[in-house]
Structure 1
Amino acid sequence: MANTYLDAGSGETLVFLHGFCESKQVWAEFIKPLQAQFRTIALDLPGFGDNTEHVSSYSMEGMADNVRRQLEELGVRKCILVGHSMGGYVSLAFAEKYSTMLNGLCLFHSSALPDTEEKKENRSKSIDFVERHGVVNFINPFVEPLFYQENRDRLRQEIELMKEIGRATPQESITGALAAMRDRPDRTAVLGAAKYPVLFIFGKEDGAVPMDKALAQCHLPDNSMVYFISKVGHMGMFERTYETRKTLQKFAETIYG
């Protein structure tokens, strides 16, 4: 089986989880400068990228168990977990089950709130669309709106990379993950109970995690850092690479000293 992770650098560990229809490759360039200071691991979630093991049921809890297994195999006992979008939902499920493994948590364009009724309906419509029209017809129009309009011309290459990753994703992974995101519970209590620092990174132009949702949760942990960044949609690792990485680096330095 192909490698389901990128693992480089040494020192305290940062673990990166990708979002929906993504893979570990979205983090590949982002994490390189951090490797001088930290061990960085980017994982493929089950059903995505090279993580082709059979998935009996897609759920945030099931994916969190898979992350735990991968980390055990890599000898990771404690880490800062960084989750982008759906990876953030998985990170929160992980935090709920395995909180003692966390030194810190970063929700990178993500949310502990459940889907609204409208969003649940849209997820169901997307499942129906994928089943009727296939992966390619779903992915091609899906990717570009994740980026703030003003950034799209500058980031053509990154948009193409995202489309490539998405088109290579099995149909059942897409429909399974859509249902799992739709059905995930409210995990704001996980933030309220967090005994570790939490970093929130939000794009001010992010349609997926709008400002009111961001503000409704960032005060919940005892110890939180919040970074709002303008002219950024849902893909800060590409749209504002330097700023988001620097914020994460400072957060890790605060925890690890």
Structure 2
Amino acid sequence: MVLDYKNATISYSDQGKGTAIILIHGFLENATMWKEITPQLTKKNRVITIDLLGHGKSDCLGYTHSMELFAETIEAVLKHLRIRKCILIGHSLGGYVALAFAEKNPQKIKGLCLMNSTSIEDDNERKKLRSRANKMVQNNFTNMVRMSFTNLFSEASRTVFKDEMKLALAEALQTPIQGYIAAQEGMKNRPNRSPILAENNFKKLIIIGEKDPVLDHQTSLEEAKKTNSEFVVFPNGHMSHIENKEELITILERFVKLC
């Protein structure tokens, strides 16, 4: 299904009945990342997956996709579907978007799960890396995507989940360069949204990868404690939906029931 937002096409799916769960994918991903998880959650819930701007089947909208702009597209889909309250589950970039949505619409949220994500803004080193990547990707998109995507997995997972990683990489390579650059610019400039977690009473869960190469797991543990968020630590990297799929499904089903 598609929705027009500011003359850009937003692609989404809507399945099942019950509590509305919004699944928001990460950078260089799209709604297909949830294909193993959606069938489980739709047994007792209504599950909406959305392709973020510049990803999957959704159009780009300018050259900076801020977290606020991404969140506005989520809001537009929910309004179109007449959903008043929901549970947000966001992977990586999707978590940043979920927080931006929560900042503007706290009353619409029953629960928020940051999956391999954080409410903390980029430090200066990370901002420089994003700027550098945006320059490099214009000359060698395929190698840049392949390198950055492979590095999201723990070392052991790169062998164990070789086939799954290959399929996910193929999806990542479908991302347009404009979508890559616009998302990086948006992530680079996002603010610290820790107070959104700390000050709201909806259910909160942070899923942490012990060997996550992007997010230091000790920092994530401290973040969970400071924001009064429940947390779960998986033994692998940044891609919990592949590296710890069965455990993740169990955890998400439990979280949804508690919301």
Question: Normalised by the size of structure 2, how large is the TM-score?
Answer: 0.93
Q: Which runs of 5+ in 2 are unaligned?
A: 3-9
Alignment partner of 2:257 out of 243, 253, 256: 253
Alignment partner of 2:231 out of 226, 230, 244: 226
Alignment partner of 1:119 out of 126, 131, 151: 126
3-state secondary structure, aligned to 1:42 = strand
Alignment partner of 1:142 out of 117, 135, 148: 148
Alignment partner of 1:162 out of 164, 168, 173: 168
Equivalent in the alignment of 1:80: 87
Moved more, 145-154 or 233-242: 145-154
3-state secondary structure, aligned to 1:206 = coil
- How far is the alpha carbon of 1:42 from its aligned partner? 1.2
Q: Does 1:92 align with 2:99?
A: yes
Equivalent in the alignment of 1:41: 48
Question: Residue type matched to 2:198 in 1?
Answer: G
Q: State whether residues 65 and 94 of structure 1, in contact with CA within 8 Å, keep that contact through their aligned partners in structure 2.
A: yes
- How far is the alpha carbon of 1:53 from its aligned partner? 5.4
Q: Does 1:240 align with 2:244?
A: yes
- How far is the alpha carbon of 1:56 from its aligned partner? 6.1
Distance 2:218 2:159 in 1: 28
Q: State whether residues 63 and 182 of structure 2, in contact with CA within 8 Å, keep that contact through their aligned partners in structure 1.
A: no
3-state secondary structure, aligned to 1:16 = strand
Identity %: 32
- How far is the alpha carbon of 1:54 from its aligned partner? 3.3
Q: How many residues align?
A: 252
In the TM superposition, what whole-angstrom CA distance separates every residue of 1:75-104 from its partner, at most 9, and x where no partner exists?
221111000000000111001011111000
Distance 2:135 2:217 in 1: 29
Q: State whether residues 34 and 249 of structure 1, in contact with CA within 8 Å, keep that contact through their aligned partners in structure 2.
A: yes
Distance 2:94 2:225 in 1: 21
Q: State whether residues 46 and 55 of structure 1, in contact with CA within 8 Å, keep that contact through their aligned partners in structure 2.
A: no
Equivalent in the alignment of 1:175: 181
Distance 2:14 2:157 in 1: 29
Distance 1:26 1:58 in 2: 20
Alignment partner of 1:202 out of 204, 208, 217: 208
Question: Residue type matched to 2:188 in 1?
Answer: R
Equivalent in the alignment of 2:7: none
Question: Residue type matched to 2:187 in 1?
Answer: M
Q: State whether residues 22 and 166 of structure 1, in contact with CA within 8 Å, keep that contact through their aligned partners in structure 2.
A: yes
- How far is the alpha carbon of 1:220 from its aligned partner? 3.3
Distance 2:196 2:227 in 1: 8
3-state secondary structure, aligned to 1:136 = helix
Distance 1:239 1:80 in 2: 23
Q: Which runs of at least 4 in structure 1 moved beyond 3 Å after TM superposition?
A: 53-57
In the TM superposition, what whole-angstrom CA distance separates every residue of 1:186-240 from its partner, at most 9, and x where no partner exists?
1111111112010110010001111232023102345x3210111x100001111
